[in-house]
Amino acid sequence: QVQLVESGGGLVQSGGSLRLSCAVSGGTLDNYAIGWFRQVPGKEREGVLCISSSGSSINYGDSVEGRFTISRDSAKNTAYLQMNSLKPEDTAVYYCTARASWCQPVPIYYHIWGQGTQVTVSS
């Protein structure tokens, strides 16, 4: 059974950087599209970035354009979300998720989720 484990969250000052990791176990990373979503209390989970099984990345959030990038390392079976120039409004629980091959912008299309990692950006 495929499982995802996120790590790398924490507290950072505005303007700082964090790199989130999503480690895949029980399956091969290259077979999946990996998405990053984020959620704050009282709001719906929103898409941030996704990378397809072929390596194409898609940005689902205008607010992260030019600041966040997604990548993956097949040898480590791990995907990453690099977050630069962080802002207080980026504060959320970040989830990685997987589905076969293609990216989709909404959570309902994904069937494998990690436990989430908290990112807090102080002003």
**How far, in Å, CA of 90 to CA of 64, rounded?**
9
* Closest of 12, 37, 11 to residue 22, by C-alpha: 37
pLDDT band at 122 (very low <50, low <70, confident <90, very high): very high
The mean pLDDT value of the chain amounts to: 95
**Does the pLDDT at position 61 exceed 90?**
no
* Closest of 61, 54, 36 to residue 100, by C-alpha: 54
* Closest of 78, 118, 83 to residue 98, by C-alpha: 78
CB 22 within 8 Å of CB 4: yes
How do residues 19-54 score in pLDDT, each as one tens digit? 999 999 999 999 999 999 999 999 999 999 999 999
